[in-house]
């Protein structure tokens, strides 16, 4: 019997709804790009959109509670969210334990994928249980890139399997969504216009996947 999934896209703002499509209650979004392009800002904006769903766990695998992380959180207003918890690192086994508990986080941010050091079987087991299974959760994954590809073979596999793929460049999130989004997402309009110049409007609908 096919499990029915709830459409939660009505909670999104128009720009996110057009970018992501008719998202449901459990999905993973893989966000990758080079340093300074806007990955963290895009993830933060999405997290705020989804905040009413419940508890949010942001795991800082890469930088921990560094000053740069603190500045990014403050700049994007994440500290003002209700039920928002920061964690400095978390092993695969500990994460599986946390997510299995009653009243566990509804949304999990993996920041960043390379420093989490998941194996492919580990990542697929997380998705099978908490995205595809009965306990519907949302995974927001932030990844480094080498050029136009995620860094590392496990990250490449995770991107291929992701329900929403996002490549960030020049303050625009280029998106391919299995939920049939219809446009890319502008993370920071002035920065995007300065970066892309005359190509800016073309980039709003350009497909790169």
- Considering the chain, what percentage of its residues have pLDDT values greater than 70? 98
Look at residue 5 and tell me if it is in a domain.
no
Domain extent, residue 105, equals 21-203
Mean pLDDT of 32-39: 95
Look at residue 3 and tell me if it is in a domain.
no
Look at residue 2 and tell me if it is in a domain.
no
Confidence at residue 1, expressed as pLDDT on a 0 to 100 scale? 43
Look at residue 196 and tell me if it is in a domain.
yes
Look at residue 14 and tell me if it is in a domain.
no
Q: How far apart are CA 149 and CA 174, in angstroms?
A: 13
Higher per-residue confidence, 3 vs 164: 164
Tell me the pLDDT tens digit for each residue of 18-34: 999 999 999 999 999 99
Look at residue 73 and tell me if it is in a domain.
yes
**pLDDT over 90 at 64, yes or no:** no
Tell if the pTM clears 0.85, that is, is over it. Answer: yes
Q: How far apart are CA 67 and CA 8, in angstroms?
A: 34
Higher per-residue confidence, 77 vs 94: 94
Q: What's the domain count of the chain?
A: 1
With CA atoms as reference, report the closest residue to 42 among 13, 74, 76.
76
**Residue-averaged pLDDT of the chain:** 94
- Dump strand ranges (E) for the chain: 27-33, 56-60, 84-87, 107-111, 138-146, 149-150, 164-169, 172-177, 185-186
Look at residue 95 and tell me if it is in a domain.
yes
Q: Name the token pair of 131.
A: 């995205």
Confidence at residue 69, expressed as pLDDT on a 0 to 100 scale? 83
Residues 6 or more apart whose Cβ sits within 8 Å of residue 56: 47, 50, 81, 83, 84, 85, 105, 106, 107, 108, 109
Tell me the pLDDT tens digit for each residue of 103-120: 999 999 999 999 999 999
With CA atoms as reference, report the closest residue to 58 among 164, 185, 11, 46.
46
């Amino acid at each position: 019997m096919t499990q029915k999934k709830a459409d939660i896209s009505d909670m999104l703002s128009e720009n996110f709804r057009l970018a992501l499509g008719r998202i449901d209650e459990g999905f993973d979004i893989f966000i990758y790009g080079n340093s300074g392009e806007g990955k963290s800002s895009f993830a933060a904006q999405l997290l705020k959109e989804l905040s009413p769903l419940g508890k949010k766990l942001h795991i800082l695998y890469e930088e921990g509670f560094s000053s740069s992380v603190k500045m990014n959180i403050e700049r994007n207003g994440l500290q003002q969210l209700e039920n928002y918890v920061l964690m400095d690192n978390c092993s695969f086994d500990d994460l599986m334990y946390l997510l299995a508990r009653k009243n566990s986080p509804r949304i999990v941010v993996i920041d960043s994928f390379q420093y989490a050091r998941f194996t492919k079987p580990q990542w697929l087991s997380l998705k099978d249980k908490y995205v595809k299974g009965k306990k519907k959760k949302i995974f927001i994954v932030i990844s480094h890139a080498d050029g136009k590809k995620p860094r590392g073979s496990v990250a490449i596999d995770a991107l291929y399997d992701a329900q929403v793929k996002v490549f960030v460049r020049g303050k625009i999130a280029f998106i391919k969504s299995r939920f049939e989004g219809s446009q890319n997402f502008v993370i920071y309009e002035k920065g995007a216009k300065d970066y892309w110049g005359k190509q800016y409007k073309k980039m709003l609908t350009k497909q790169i996947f």
